[in-house]
Amino acid sequence: MDGYYRLRPNLYYQFGLGKIEGRRLFPSPRGAEKTQSGADMRLRLEPTFNISEEVRIKTQFDVLDNVLLGSTPSRSFPDDGFYVFDIFNDGQTSPKSAINALRDSLSVRELYGEVSTPVGLLRFGRMTANWGLGILRNDGNCLECDYGDVVDRVMFVTEPFDGFYVTPMFEFNSEGQYAYPNGQQSQPVDLSNADDSNSWVLAVARRDTPQEVKAKLDNNQGVLNYGLHFSWRNQRYASAGLYSSPPVPNPDGSVGPSQGYVRRDATLYIPDVWLRYEERDFRVEFELAAYLGQINNRAQTPADQDIPDLNQSLQVVSFGGAAVGEYRLLNGQLNLQLELGFASGDRAPGFGAYPGQQGSGSGGFTQAGDSDGPQFRCGTGGCSDSAIRNFRFNRAYRVDNILWRELIGTVTDTVYAKPTIRYSLTQGFDLFGSVIYSQAIYAESTPSFTERMLGIETNLGARYETEDGFVARVDWSVLFPLGGLQENLEENRRELATAHAIRGTLGIRF
Write out pLDDT tens, residues 214-253: 999 999 999 999 999 999 999 999 999 888 888 888 988 9
b/e string for 275-291 if b means 16 or more Cβ within 10 A? bbebebeebebbbbbbb
Q: Do 74 and 155 fall into the same domain?
A: no
Detail the DSSP E strand segments found in 380-487. 382-385, 387-388, 414-426, 429-440, 453-465, 470-481
Could you say which of 265, 299, 325 is where a domain stops? 265
Model confidence pLDDT, tens digit, residues 325-341: 999 999 999 999 999 99
Residue 503 belongs to some domain of the structure: no
Other CB atoms within 10 A of residue 28 CB: 18
% of the chain with per-residue pLDDT over 70:
99
Q: What's the whole-number mean pLDDT along residues 98-122?
A: 94
At 385, is the secondary structure helix, strand, or coil? strand
Do residues 144 and 250 share a domain? yes
Structural domain includes residue 243: yes
User: Based on the domain organization, do 185 and 228 belong to the same domain?
Assistant: yes
pLDDT at residue 408, as a whole number: 97
Question: Please, is 150 exposed, middle or buried when counting C-beta atoms within 10 Å of its C-beta (0-12, 13-18, 19+)?
Answer: middle
Residue 138 shares a structural domain with residue 211: yes
Task: Render pLDDT for 368-407 as a digit per residue (tens, 0 to 9).
Answer: 999 999 999 998 888 999 999 999 999 999 999 999 999 9
Percent of the chain residues topping a pLDDT of 90:
85
| pLDDT for the residue numbered 87 | 87
Q: What local confidence, expressed as pLDDT, does residue 289 receive?
A: 98
Round to the nearest angstrom and report the end-to-end CA distance of the chain.
8
Query: Of 214, 235, 265, which residue sits at a domain end?
Result: 265
Residues 102 and 73 in one domain: yes
Q: Are residues 80 and 164 in the same domain?
A: no
What is the residue range of 61's domain? 47-106
Asked whether residue 99 falls in the same domain as residue 131, the answer is no
Report the range of poorest mean pLDDT among 36-40, 91-95, 256-260, 333-337.
Answer: 256-260
| Structural domains counted in the chain | 2
Q: What pLDDT is stored for residue 195 in this prediction?
A: 93
With respect to residue 217, please indicate whether it lies within any of the assigned structural domains.
Answer: yes
Give every CB contact of residue 363 below 8 A, 6+ residues apart in sequence: 379
| 193 and 220 both lie in a single domain | yes
In a domain, 141, yes or no: yes
Identify whether residues 247 and 162 lie together within a single domain. yes
Tell me the residue ranges of DSSP E strands in 14-137.
35-46, 48-50, 55-68, 106-117, 120-128
Q: How confident is the model at residue 76 (pLDDT cuts 50, 70, 90)?
A: low
Q: Which residues are within 8 A (CB) of 271 and not within 5 positions of it... i.e. 6 or more apart? A: 228, 229, 230, 289, 290, 292
Confidence of residue 80 (pLDDT cuts 50, 70, 90): confident
Is pLDDT above 90 for 82? no
pLDDT in tens, 407-466: 999 999 999 999 999 999 999 999 999 999 999 999 999 999 999 999 999 999 999 999
30 pLDDT exceeds 80? Answer: no
In a domain, 276, yes or no: no
Q: How confident is the model at residue 366 (pLDDT cuts 50, 70, 90)?
A: very high
Please report whether residue 140 resides in a domain. Answer: yes
Asked whether the predicted pLDDT for residue 258 surpasses 80, the reply is no
Mean of the per-residue pLDDT values for the chain?
94
Residue 18 pLDDT grade (very low, low, confident, very high; cuts 50, 70, 90):
very high
pLDDT at 22: 87
> Can you give the pLDDT at residue 178?
93
Any domain includes 460: no
> For residue 79, is pLDDT > 80?
no
User: Is 87 in a helix, a strand, or coil?
Assistant: helix
The per-residue pLDDT for range 36-67, each reduced to its tens digit, is: 999 999 999 999 999 999 999 999 999 999 99
What is the mean predicted confidence (pLDDT) over 462-475? 97
Task: Please name the helix (run of DSSP H) or strand (run of DSSP E) that holds residue 373, with its range, or none.
Answer: none
211 and 129, same domain (yes or no): yes
Claim to verify: residue 101 and residue 123 sit in the same structural domain: no
Who's near 460: CB < 8 A, 6+ residues apart? Answer: 432, 433, 475, 476, 477
SS3 13: strand
- Residues 415, 59: Cα–Cα separation, whole Å: 37
Helical ranges in 127-181 per DSSP H: none
**pLDDT number for residue 78:** 64
| Mean pLDDT, residues 291-301 taken together | 95
Reported as a pLDDT band with limits 50, 70 and 90, residue 257 is confident
Among 61, 83, 106, the domain boundary falls at 106
Q: Does the N-terminal peptide bond of residue 447 adopt cis geometry, omega within 30 degrees of 0?
A: no
**Average pLDDT of the segment spanning 167-175:** 97
Determine the Cα–Cα distance for residues 478 and 455; give it in Å rounded to an integer.
Answer: 10
The answer on 129 and 97 residing in a single domain is no
Q: What pLDDT is recorded for position 380?
A: 84
Assigned domain for 423 exists:
no
For residue 77, pLDDT beyond 70: no
